[in-house]
Chain A
């Protein structure tokens, strides 16, 4: 592939993001502006921004790569990524907006009136954020290596630097514009190539490498479902979305609870439209580029397919588009995560000032950069799926019970979060180690949410019940505030 195409696309996206970010700087002045854009963002803008932030390397590159690699079981990933917003709409969106808190730790502290519950939540938010940024940086490494021929570390480093600078300089209002822009960029960057490729392929030239029956064997089809893995993956993705720190912080920028709900429904629509395109890319890949699965480069399918099917200038244009879209995905998700991490770190450790936020933004980028440089990517969609499992086992039970159950106490919440963290963390780390030696229990470790989430909920409820006196005195007033509609 011609490296000039890669450089052009990457520099253009980086410049556009930075320009929009600095433009936003002129309108963000106060601390409150900085954190939550003064809560004046309209539903369509907000929904585009949520989509822009949410659609990460896993969605942009990983889904198509996994469809190519494993077949129709991969189709459950985008279903879960989208369905998570339905759960968010049902259980969290409006009450969380009305809680008046900036971050998840703010919410736990206000609900449970406990500094310890706040500290544990902050710690989990930081861990989750870091491990979610890592696959973004690995996706960037892959993209830069494939498209420019530069070494992998250059891609990770470039994304980390751009994100740290834009976030530290602009804060969240500017990021709302950047994120909204990046959703539409990502959608265009997949939709236009998909339509162009379908038109080209529809003309019969080049011919598919495999017949339909070979490309889509029934053994990889929807009928051959691994029930436990699919159910567990769905639990992780549907419930994990509720607890993602960068998703939640976005809800505070809605003007009221009803707007938060409307925003979420719009997000459902935007994601549903978006995911059709990686799905078609994956299908095309199975018929036209099956060799990529064998060579371990499945995650690069979207980057390589346009050039393979349409060599020449048109292919170059399409390739530029997908590279730009992929880079937008890494930048937007990482900056969303860095904002929420920086918000948590600066409020808890640095006194909540604007300067503290900037320092925290830089710290929140450096740690995952080190992890990304030290480790190898093992499939983008899969590693993000594990972060969802961890989130679903730790933050999701506390959010749902905190919003809907007056019996929750700080001891119950802390016990539940630690149980979920230890169990799902151990399973995720242990899974790859026992995969070969104990194939019977391997699925339960590799896809742990189906048992870690219920256990975390049981521990939370049991400890809270034993601790009836620990019910915070302000519980009724706080729940009233969460559920009563604004004037």
Chain B
């Protein structure tokens, strides 16, 4: 639904575009609410995942530092603690990324189904 008629009257104080009826106004408001809630849910998801990744990495590093014996156990001549720090964070990052990919897609699917119900 688009209003194509030119603006009339000398008012022009309102920044909002003129609409033909109150019903369209309400529809526009509802659409805006849906978009805002999409942005909020995507932001909440992104921040949660980022914090989760940071916390998991810190715990992993503390474990490497404080679990006894990791510096003295060797894997092919390299201390296990070095091997874990050198290779252990990457699987975590990939897993977190893949989980986010699905969750972000779900948020968008939910938005779509709401917006299409209009």
| B66-93 CB contacts (< 8 Å) to partner A | 66, 71, 74, 76-79, 81-82, 84-87, 89-91, 93
Asked if A287 lies at the interface with its beta carbon under 8 angstroms from chain B, I say: yes
Tell me which of A154-162, A177-185, A271-279 binds B: A271-279
Q: Which residues of B contact A264 (CB under 8 A)?
A: 97
Contact check: which of B42, B66, B87, B91 meets A483 at CB < 8 Å? Answer: B42
Whether A221 contacts B81 by the Cβ 8 Å rule is yes
In whole angstroms, how far apart are the Cα atoms of A79 and B91 in the complex?
A: 11
In whole angstroms, how far apart are the Cα atoms of A94 and B101 in the complex?
A: 11
In whole angstroms, how far apart are the Cα atoms of A268 and B99 in the complex?
A: 13
In whole angstroms, how far apart are the Cα atoms of A79 and B77 in the complex?
A: 22
Contact check: which of B39, B53, B82 meets A479 at CB < 8 Å? Answer: B39
Q: Which residues of B contact A261 (CB under 8 A)?
A: 101, 104-105
Contact check: which of B15, B53, B79, B104 meets A83 at CB < 8 Å? Answer: B53
| A462-483 CB contacts (< 8 Å) to partner B | 473, 476, 479-480, 483
Asked if B108 lies at the interface with its beta carbon under 8 angstroms from chain A, I say: yes
In whole angstroms, how far apart are the Cα atoms of A476 and B35 in the complex?
A: 9
CB distance from B25 to the nearest CB of A (A): 15
Contact check: which of B77, B82, B108, B111 meets A222 at CB < 8 Å? Answer: B82
> Which residue of A has the minimal Cβ distance to B98?
A265
Whether B97 contacts A265 by the Cβ 8 Å rule is yes
CB distance from B54 to the nearest CB of A (A): 9
Contacts A82-B93, A218-B71, A479-B35 hold; do A279 and B108 have CB atoms under 8 A apart?
A: no
Asked if B46 lies at the interface with its beta carbon under 8 angstroms from chain A, I say: yes
In whole angstroms, how far apart are the Cα atoms of A91 and B53 in the complex?
A: 14
Contacts A218-B71, A225-B65, A265-B98 hold; do A485 and B112 have CB atoms under 8 A apart?
A: yes
Contacts A72-B82, A225-B61 hold; do A265 and B46 have CB atoms under 8 A apart?
A: no
Whether A480 contacts B82 by the Cβ 8 Å rule is no
A-B residue pair count with CB separations less than 8 angstroms: 113
CB distance from A460 to the nearest CB of B (A): 17
Bin chain B's interface residue count. 35 or more
In whole angstroms, how far apart are the Cα atoms of A272 and B87 in the complex?
A: 8
Whether A276 contacts B87 by the Cβ 8 Å rule is yes
In whole angstroms, how far apart are the Cα atoms of A226 and B32 in the complex?
A: 48
Whether B101 contacts A265 by the Cβ 8 Å rule is yes
CB distance from A338 to the nearest CB of B (A): 29
Asked if A350 lies at the interface with its beta carbon under 8 angstroms from chain B, I say: no
Asked if A258 lies at the interface with its beta carbon under 8 angstroms from chain B, I say: yes
CB distance from A416 to the nearest CB of B (A): 19
Asked if A223 lies at the interface with its beta carbon under 8 angstroms from chain B, I say: yes
Asked if B94 lies at the interface with its beta carbon under 8 angstroms from chain A, I say: yes
Q: Which residues of B contact A75 (CB under 8 A)?
A: 82, 85-86
In whole angstroms, how far apart are the Cα atoms of A1 and B53 in the complex?
A: 45
Contacts A86-B53, A86-B96, A485-B112 hold; do A258 and B105 have CB atoms under 8 A apart?
A: yes
> Which residue of B has the minimal Cβ distance to A90?
B46
Whether A283 contacts B78 by the Cβ 8 Å rule is yes
Q: Which residues of B contact A223 (CB under 8 A)?
A: 64-66, 71, 81
Q: Which residues of A contact B35 (CB under 8 A)?
A: 476, 479-480, 483-484
In whole angstroms, how far apart are the Cα atoms of A79 and B35 in the complex?
A: 35
In whole angstroms, how far apart are the Cα atoms of A265 and B93 in the complex?
A: 9
> Which residue of B has the minimal Cβ distance to A481?
B35
Q: Which residues of B contact A202 (CB under 8 A)?
A: 76
Contacts A216-B82, A283-B78 hold; do A272 and B94 have CB atoms under 8 A apart?
A: yes
In whole angstroms, how far apart are the Cα atoms of A208 and B77 in the complex?
A: 10
Given A82-B93, A212-B78, list of 12 further CB < 8 A pairs?
A79-B57, A218-B71, A218-B79, A261-B101, A264-B97, A265-B98, A272-B91, A283-B86, A476-B32, A480-B35, A484-B111, A485-B112
Residues of A within 8 A of B (CB): 72, 75, 79, 82-83, 85-87, 89-91, 94, 202, 208, 212, 215-216, 218, 221-223, 225, 258, 261-262, 264-265, 268-269, 271-272, 275-276, 279, 283, 287, 404, 473, 476, 479-480, 483-485
Residues of B within 8 A of A (CB): 15, 32, 35, 38-39, 42-43, 46, 49-50, 53, 57, 61, 64-66, 71, 74, 76-79, 81-82, 84-87, 89-91, 93-94, 96-98, 100-101, 104-105, 108, 111-112
